[in-house]
Amino acid sequence: MGKGSLTLQWIYRSVLVLLVLLIVYLIVKLFPFYEAFLQILFRLFIPFIVSLFIAYLLHPIVEGLYHRNVPRWLAITMIYIFVFGGIGYVVYKAYPLFLKQVKGLSESLPGFVETYRQWIYEMYERTSFLPETVHDRMDVMLTNVEQLGEDFILSIGNRLTGMFDVFIILAVIPVLVFYMLKDYPIMSTTLYKLTPKRYREEGKEVLRDIDKSLGSYIRGQLLVCLFVGLISMLALWLIGMKFPLILGGVMGITNIIPYFGPIIGAVPAVVIAFTMSTKMVLFVVIAVFIVQLIESNLLSPFIVGKSLHMHPVLIIFALLIGGEIGGIIGMIIAVPVLTIIRVLIHHTKMFRQER
């Protein structure tokens, strides 16, 4: 390849990078103009996204029953009775208690804040020798914590009391899941035919590897989170901690985040325990420690295993990036996104070698 060709190639790549950066800049700058439109699209597609995710989780069970000579419609019906029926029963029984605890937590929040105010005042007296700017920082920190707590409780209350506004969406999801599971062979064949011929086999291998790496991890991790949530609720209830249903649920949900999840989930329980007694703080820490021992030594090794096959440093790096970009949601989806990227890079390298 000549020097002129290399120069033209370098110019071409530079222009392409600049063009991509310009497009990204325009997308960011014009976001306020199409934000409302994106919100409408998100509300429109959210039932399909949720249904697709649920169907993806349940598909292996349906296929397992189908290969044991159970008709597909009967297999789906059996799963609906056990899964959706069980979830509906649990929600029916737990929702009033959960709503009651949310209301109690909302009413107790001013008392919690007042307790921390007293502690801050005592810290003022003990740290009177420090510069005034340090005290100002403490005031700002307390105000921010109070505002975050109020916003969190209000958001939970608004979402729970607005459940009837999304009743239609919740009613549509089971129907969509049923047809996605039932017509999976048709959808798979259609997607295969829509893919250009030269990429069909490679595309099948990519999807197969993504499912192999990610599917078992997601299903196992969700199951572990369910067990952690239930065990945490039971442990907090046994030690007499307030709001065990809410706090245990938070621990179960945040446990989906590797490494950082248990710490994030334990913070609300420890913060509330501080307003009760030092003894309760010790009990909560011990309970969290026992739950994590059970999770790390019994649940995760047997349910999740080592399905990701990635170095912990790489996972932690992805979690930090996800947290910086999207907060808690970013940390939750960081590992799945990293897994997909890893599979795509692997297949891209193999495709180039074959060429």
How many other C-beta atoms lie within 10 A of the C-beta of residue 127? 12
pLDDT of residue 135: 60
Give pLDDT, residue 61: 85
State both tokens at 83: 């899964």
For 14-32, give one letter per residue: b (16+ CB within 10 A) or e.
eeeeeeeeeeeeeeeeeee
pLDDT digits (tens, 9 = 90+) for 294-340: 887 777 777 665 556 667 777 788 888 877 776 777 777 888 888 88
pLDDT at 355: 58
pLDDT in tens, 41-65: 777 777 788 888 888 888 888 888 8
Which of 139, 347, 335, 177 lies closest to 256 in space, CA to CA? 335
Rounded Cα distance between 75 and 283, Å, is 45
Share of the chain above pLDDT 70, in %: 72
The confidence band for 138, taking pLDDT boundaries of 50, 70 and 90, is low
- Which residue has 């975050």 as its token pair? 148
Looking at residue 225, its amino acid is: C
Looking at residue 31, its pLDDT comes to 63
DSSP 69: T
Query: Average pLDDT for residues 74-98, to the nearest whole number?
Result: 80
Q: Give the HSE-up count for residue 94: Cα atoms under 13 Å, Cβ half-sphere.
A: 14
**pLDDT value of position 282:** 92
pLDDT of residue 164: 47
* Tens digit of each residue's pLDDT (9 = 90 or more) over 105-127: 777 776 766 666 676 666 666 66
pLDDT classification of 354: cutoffs 50, 70, 90:
low
pTM for the complete prediction?
A: 0.66
- Residue 104 parent element (H or E): helix 85-126
pLDDT at 211: 79
